[in-house]
Amino acid sequence: MVHFTAEEKSAVTSLWGKVNVEEAGGEALGRLLVVYPWTQRFFDSFGNLSSASAIMGNPKVKAHGKKVLTSFGDAVKNMDNLKGAFAKLSELHCDKLHVDPENFRLLGNVLVIILASHFGREFTPDMQAAWQKLVSGVANALSHKYH
């Protein structure tokens, strides 16, 4: 189980407070679909994903990105019990959505890259390290109920 120090929790929470979840969510999901095009396999119903600009401007991508990142906000509130917080979502992603957990790791890393681009120098190596622990914890929590 991943353990966060008080400094790590504080670093994550303070940065999260400054994130525009709607915007960042759309950007994260969009970049996932652009940089790793095979991830588009889950989104046949999303319409036009034919180019980077189509993907980034696609309203369904933005809406779904917002949904996903809002849910990520639960992780920030439950850093001491990620497995518990994501148990139901884990079952959903396995049994209904059939998403390979590798995709959680890819999205987590894309999110870290976006935070770096938004926060620049403020996104120090120590800050990144705390966030890598969090995204990795979330990916593990979401994979936990797979069978």
CB under 8 A: which stretch of 14-22, 58-66, 80-88, 107-115 binds other proteins? 107-115
Rounded to the nearest whole angstrom, what is the least distance from the CB of residue 32 to other proteins in the complex?
10
Closest CA to 71 of 96, 98, 104, 95: 104
x/- site string to other proteins, residues 26 to 45, per CB under 8 A?
----xx--xx----------
Distance, C-alpha 16 to centroid of its chain: 12
Q: Which of 2, 92 has the CB closer to other proteins? A: 2
For position 60 contacting other proteins by CB under 8 A, the verdict is no
Q: Are 42 and 97 in contact (CB under 8 A)?
A: yes
For position 2 contacting other proteins by CB under 8 A, the verdict is no
For position 55 contacting other proteins by CB under 8 A, the verdict is yes
Rounded to the nearest whole angstrom, what is the least distance from the CB of residue 55 to other proteins in the complex?
8
Residue 20, phi then psi, degrees to nearest 5: -85, 100
Q: Which position has the token pair 């917002």?
A: 66
CA distance to 14, 47, 91, 106, 135, per residue, from 146 (Å): 32, 29, 7, 18, 18
User: Which residues contact other proteins (rule: CB under 8 A)?
Assistant: 30-31, 34-35, 52, 55-56, 109, 112-114, 116-121, 123, 125-126, 128-129, 132
